[in-house]
Every structure is written in C-alpha cells, then in structure tokens.
C-alpha cells in the first residue's frame, strides 16, 4: 500500500486523538461516557479547543481522502509526489492540532489554509 493511503488512515484516527485529549483535559472525562457530546460541549480551555480540533479533523477527512484517491487513479501524478503531499498534509494537521491546543488562533488559521492548499494540490498535480 502506498504511503498516501496510510496517511488517509492516520487522518481518520487524528480526531480520536483530539477526543482523548479533550476528555482527559476535562478532569474525569475518560470515565464520563454516558452523554459524551453534552460533556464535551461543557468543557473549557484547551479541552474545549481539543474538541473543536476533533470536529474540524472529522470535517477534513472526506476532502483529503478523495484528493488522494483521485490523484492516485488519474495517474497524472507520480507516486512520490502523491506520497509527499500526503505526508505534508498529515504534518499540517498535526501542527493545526498543536496550534489549536496552544490557542494560537492566527497561526492555526494559516496552517489550516496550508492544509487546504495541499488538498487542492492533489488535483493540480493530477492534471
């Protein structure tokens, strides 16, 4: 399997990393699983930001997965380019999560735009 496909798998699991951080940051959250959505909505500080990062991470998965698959099946880009872009995207997502947790809003937005640019790049290299 190509590296880019492994990156899609990593992207699928990144939101769950954020969820663990959010629940752990709320104190007893790892034990509080009766109504997790209400619990996560009640969080404050970095735990609340971790939950927001989780939601955003879920939102970007379909675009990233589609971009990787389209780049792969069109055969317009070589595998090295697809793999490099995929690793760059995962790196941008990790930086995005770090920026969100640290409450670096402007830098977080810049990293988000970089990630979206990388997703768009899959389409451009596939032409």
Q: Which CATH architecture has domain 3-125?
A: Up-down Bundle (1.20)
Evaluate if residue 68 carries a pLDDT over 70: yes
Query: How crowded is residue 110: how many other Cβ atoms within 10 Å of its Cβ?
Result: 15
pLDDT tens column, 76-114 = 889 999 999 999 999 999 999 999 999 999 999 999 999
**What is the b/e burial string over 42-81, where b = at least 16 CB atoms within 10 angstroms of the residue's CB?**
ebeebbbbbbbbbebbbebbebbbebbeebbeeebbeeeb
Evaluate if residue 27 carries a pLDDT over 80: no
Most distant CA atoms of the chain, gap in Å = 50
- What pTM was estimated for this model as a whole? 0.92
């Amino acid at each position: 399997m190509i590296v880019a496909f492994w990156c899609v798998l990593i992207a699928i699991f990144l939101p769950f990393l954020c969820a663990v951080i959010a629940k752990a940051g709320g104190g007893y959250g790892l034990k509080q699983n009766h109504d997790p959505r209400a619990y996560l909505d009640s969080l404050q500080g970095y735990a609340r930001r971790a939950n927001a990062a989780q939601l955003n991470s879920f939102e970007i998965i379909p675009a990233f997965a589609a971009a990787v698959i389209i780049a792969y099946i069109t055969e317009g880009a070589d595998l090295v380019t697809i793999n490099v872009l995929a690793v760059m995207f995962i790196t941008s997502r990790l930086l995005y999560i770090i920026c969100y947790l640290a409450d670096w809003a402007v830098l977080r937005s810049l990293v988000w735009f970089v990630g979206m640019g990388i997703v768009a790049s899959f389409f451009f290299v596939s032409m």
